Amino acid sequence: MNRTILTWAALLLTVAAATAQHRSHERHQGERSLAERVFGLEKKSEKLKVNLGVQSFFEHPLNDDESQRARFKVHELRIQAHGELSRQLSFDWRQRLNRAADGSSFADNLSNAIDIAGVDWHPNEKVSFFFGRQYARFGGIEYDMNPVDIYQYSDLVDYMTCYTTGVNFAWNLHPQHQVQLQILNAYNDSFEDRYQVTADVATRTRYPLLYTTHWNGTFLQGALHMRYAVSLGHLAKERNLWYFTAGHLIRPTRNIDGYIDLTYSIEGLDDKGIMSMRYGGGKTLTDVKYAALVSKWNFRIDKSINLFAKGMYEYGYAPAQYGNTSHTRHSYGYMGGVEYYPTETNFRLFLTYIGRHYQYDATATESTNTLRAGFIYQIPFL
């Protein structure tokens, strides 16, 4: 107990010192990029923006489990760039620096450390096309946010294939309504590496593609934003994936906002692998279903202080197969914390509690409880 108290005391002193130093630095420099500070590139960098997104924290497990240990961790480290090539052309690139670039994917010959790499062509104000690696437009509010800002995703998002290559078409029907149509590779691996099935269960298709229809709408003068999507993925011959998402961003007052995401998927092959890892016995399960409800709310009690709370419920179901009975999985997540913005920039300090509870079938359960204290900063380089 004494050791734990000393650890947290030392951490808080370190954070306080870093905060004071950062505040003094920002008072003199503002939010100018590092390149602007060093080389004076204000004019040259107008069409090129480069950011380094960092989320780092000290993690203290609260479970009585000797296998878990307290540690400092760089949870997210992503560099991203956006460049305006002309009035009609721009490019986007984002890569995870804390993921090994260990070879190219089977499908598109890009490292899986790369999230986004492509060109955006917008011939007019209403229409645009994005070509290259991009994130699948599965819909939902949290899914569309920058990963650096997320403390804990739901399992459905954690285990899905988010970034593949293809083309996206966006049409601005109205200033408050947009429709997107997208065709991507359904996955980056080879079929044999991704799914452990025999030929009598499933065989690979010549067109392993993912088709998505996505709608964005804003109502009530911006107080309600809705993001819905339907996706169809051809995973194998006669084995498809259907994905339905409904996201709602709500701003009832100036200082309160939150979102509610509903997700449901029907998977001819267990594409996320959550149920297969527990019940498949080394094989990929078929006809698996998942559902999730995720909601987070922010309460800005002061210009520099934000309180937040988040809840997650997820359900998984696998029918009887391979000689086994049907199985279910229930997952509960609960979070709460505080964010402190010491400057007028996007730099923030945070303290959060994350609890997870899992129930498998009728009796087996698992739980984790963790405290995290750290910072998030989108560092502008250019």
Q: What is the pTM of this model?
A: 0.86
Task: Give 206-251 pLDDT, tens digit per residue.
Answer: 999 999 999 999 999 999 999 999 999 999 998 999 999 999 999 9
For residue 40, what pLDDT is reported?
52
For residue 198, what pLDDT is reported?
94
Tell the burial category of 181 from Cβ atoms under 10 Å away from its Cβ (0-12, 13-18, 19+): middle
d(CA 136, CA 161): 8
d(CA 126, CA 7): 55
CA atoms within 13 A on the CB side of 368: 17
- Residue in this structure with the two tokens 């004019």, named with its chain if needed: 43
Q: Which of 163, 358, 187 is nearest to 275 (CA)?
A: 358
* Token digits of residue 81: 């760039």
Q: Which of 33-47, 53-67, 71-85, 128-142 has the lowest mean pLDDT?
A: 33-47
CB atoms within 10 A of CB 150: 18
d(CA 128, CA 137): 15
For residue 3, what pLDDT is reported?
47
For residue 105, what pLDDT is reported?
87
CA atoms within 13 A on the CB side of 195: 25
What's the length of the chain?
382
d(CA 287, CA 268): 4
Tell the burial category of 133 from Cβ atoms under 10 Å away from its Cβ (0-12, 13-18, 19+): buried
- Domains of the chain in start order, with CATH, are 49-380 (2.40.160.10)
* Token digits of residue 121: 């062509």
Task: Give 312-364 pLDDT, tens digit per residue.
Answer: 999 999 999 998 899 999 999 999 999 999 998 899 999 999 999 999 998 89
d(CA 64, CA 332): 20
CB atoms within 10 A of CB 322: 13
